[in-house]
Structure 1
Amino acid sequence: MRDMIEQLKEVVMAILPMALLIIILQYTVIGLPTDLFIRFLAGVVMVGLGLFLFLVGVHIGLLPIGELIGSSLPKTNKPWLILITGFLLGFVVTVAEPDVRVLASQIDQVSEGEISNLMLVYSVAIGVGIFVTVAMARTIFSIPLKYLLVGGYSIVFILALFTPQSYLPISFDAGGVTTGPMTVPFILALGVGVTSVLQGKSSTSDGFGLVALASIGPIISVMILGVIFG
């Protein structure tokens, strides 16, 4: 119960400043039509309720199951199973990520279907899945994070030379939306779970950095999409 109250406080503190600012602007500057302003207030209430239930669900279900999966996989002594599971989990969690869906629908709309909703979602999900696999390999084989980050962004900068201009902003936005409320908790919990079991690993030094790596994958995948279809 105490955790639910804390989640409620977080949601109120996240939404209240924005709502107050819009209300102040409504009566001082913008003067929205009454029906639109009422829809805004109703939307704030529904967003707050939805975000509260979502955060409660993350803490009750996603985080524990992510850590449990992460701590169970190393006990199989099969590194290939950890890598495959990392790819599959990275893929399906990204497909379920609300931020990715919003970005994909907006791009589908402004491009008039040239970059379809599903094509972008699955491209981003594949990129995340591949780099979650890389992150798992980094944990298992003790690969320094800085080498992977330098290598990943080197690929990004090289691909940027060949990617059509219209795809460049989309690719970097795709990297940003994957750090959303669905993907980040699950991937972090998975990484911490894996490092908590592997001998000689520290949850602080080896369990983090997964999100940094995972956000590179969508950038590269969308750039490759641009090179192919652009």
Structure 2
Amino acid sequence: MAYILDQLKEVTFAIIPLALVVIVLQFTVIGLPSDVFISFLAGVVLVGIGLFLFLVGVHIGLLPIGELIGSSLPKIKKSWLIIGVGFFLGLVVTIAEPDVRVLAFQVDQVSGGRISNDLLVYTVAFGVAIFVALAMVKILYNLNFIHLLIGGYTLIFILALFTPPNFIPISFDAGGVTTGPMTVPFILALGVGVASVVRRADSKQTSDGFGFVALASIGPVLAIMILGVIFG
């Protein structure tokens, strides 16, 4: 029960400041139509309820299952299968990410449907999946995390030279939206779970599970830039 109350308190403190600012602006500066303002208040309540249920679900279901899957995978002792599962999980969890859907919807509207909602979602998802698989390779073969980051961002800066200007901000936004409430908890739990088994003899074993999100965020940037080159 205490855990539920903590989540409720966290959501309340996250939403109330925004609601208060809008309410103050409504009665001092903006003066929105009453129906719009009432819709806002109703939306705040619904968002609060949804966010509360979502966070409870993440902590009850996503985090434990992500870590359990991560700790079970190395026991298979087949590197290709571990990497493949990482790719598939990175793909599906990104498709389910609400922030990615919001970005895809906005890009679809702005581009007049030329870059469709589904195309952007799956492009971002494949980018994340490839780099989650790379993160698995990093843990399994003890690759240097700094070298992977430098290599990834070097590719980004080189590819940016050939990417149409309109796609560059979209690509970096795509990297940002993959750090949403669905992707981050699951990928971090997965990484910590895998690292806890693979590096069990190392006193710093679980630290190998971190950096997954940093690597996963590179994938969408590169994927959208490549999409820009194709469309450009």
CA offsets 1:164-202 (integer angstroms, 9 cap, x no match): 011111000000000000000000000010011113353
For residue 81 of structure 1, report the CA deviation from its aligned partner: 1.0
CA offsets 1:135-160 (integer angstroms, 9 cap, x no match): 11111111111000000000000000
Provide the aligned length of Structure 1 versus Structure 2: 230
Q: Distance in 2 between matches of 1:114 and 1:203?
A: 46
For residue 58 of structure 1, report the CA deviation from its aligned partner: 0.2
The aligned counterpart of 1:112 is: 112
State the SS of the aligned residue for 1:205. helix
The aligned counterpart of 2:141 is: 141
- Matched letter for residue 31 of structure 1: G
Q: Could you say if the C-alpha distance between residues 155 and 22 of structure 1 is closer, same or farther in structure 2, counting changes exceeding 3 Å?
A: same
The aligned counterpart of 2:228 is: 226
Deviates more, 1:198-207 or 1:48-57: 198-207
The aligned counterpart of 1:212 is: 214
Do 2:90 and 2:125's aligned partners in 1 also have CA atoms closer than 8 Å?
A: yes
TM-score normalized by structure 1? 0.98
State the SS of the aligned residue for 2:191. helix
Q: Distance in 2 between matches of 1:29 and 1:191?
A: 48
State the SS of the aligned residue for 1:55. helix
For residue 207 of structure 1, report the CA deviation from its aligned partner: 1.0
State the SS of the aligned residue for 1:162. coil
- Matched letter for residue 104 of structure 2: A
Structure 1 alignment gaps of length 5 or more: none
Matches within 5 A, 1:19-58: 19-58=19-58
CA offsets 1:71-111 (integer angstroms, 9 cap, x no match): 00001111111100000000000000000000000100011
CA offsets 1:14-51 (integer angstroms, 9 cap, x no match): 10100000000001100111110000000000000000
Q: Distance in 2 between matches of 1:120 and 1:161?
A: 21
Runs of 4+ in 1 over 2 A off after TM superposition: 199-205
The aligned counterpart of 2:132 is: 132
Structure 2 alignment gaps of length 5 or more: none
State the SS of the aligned residue for 1:81. helix
Matches within 5 A, 1:46-195: 46-195=46-195
For residue 205 of structure 1, report the CA deviation from its aligned partner: 2.2
The aligned counterpart of 2:201 is: 200
TM-score normalized by structure 2? 0.97
State the SS of the aligned residue for 2:163. coil
Q: Distance in 1 between matches of 2:92 and 2:2?
A: 31
